[in-house]
Amino acid sequence: MIRFRPDHLKAVVDAAEDAYPVECCGLLVGRRGAGSTAEVTRLAPSPNLAASRERFEIDPGLFLRLHKELEGGGESIVGLYHSHPDYPSQPSPRDLDAAWDAELIWVIVSVRRGQAIHVTAHALDAGLSQFHEIPLRTIDGSPAASGAILERG
């Protein structure tokens, strides 16, 4: 399970819509629990260096800076997020190819015609051979259950 503050989850959704029709991307900083569980404490948005609607590339400098900054503290990079313009919120074959760390949780926002419609979270098996969906929740218990998009006014 991955847990978000509602404003953080909203910021991820907004980034996905703002970037449309290109993919957005960024890193998730937080605290890990047992297994594939984590609580997000901070978002670290990245420019999509690929500037593509079919793939994303997180700024490697962002990784390095965060690693250095978080070293020795209670927080770490727990995952990443990106969007799927006009594509379901399931990891694509390209995502699986690109997966490099079995510890990281992938959060994917599906955007259709500029509107975010679905957010899901996925963990990897140790061999990086497949993703499996995990629950995504908000910390205050509001009903942004797995697979649901935030209510908006």
Q: Which residues are catalytically annotated?
A: 23
d(CA 22, CA 84): 8
Please choose, out of 41-49, 65-73, 92-100, 120-128, the segment that lies near Zn ion by the rule CB under 5 A.
92-100
| 1 or 96: CB nearest Zn ion | 96
Please choose, out of 35-43, 66-74, 94-102, 121-129, the segment that lies near Zn ion by the rule CB under 5 A.
94-102
Contacts 24+ apart (CB under 8 A), 54-60: 54/23, 54/94, 55/23, 55/94, 55/98, 56/23, 56/24, 56/25, 56/82, 56/83, 57/25, 58/25, 58/26, 58/27
- Is 83 exposed, middle or buried (CB count within 10 Å of its CB: 0-12, 13-18, 19+)? buried
Instruction: Report, in Å, the least distance between residue 143 CB and Zn ion.
Output: 26
d(CA 69, CA 75): 10
Identified binder of Zn ion from the candidate list 92, 112, 147, 150, rule CB under 5 A:
92
Contact code string over 34-73 relative to Zn ion, x by CB under 5 A? ----------------------------------------
Please choose, out of 72-80, 87-95, 97-105, 120-128, the segment that lies near Zn ion by the rule CB under 5 A.
87-95
Residues near Zn ion, by CB under 5 A: 92, 95
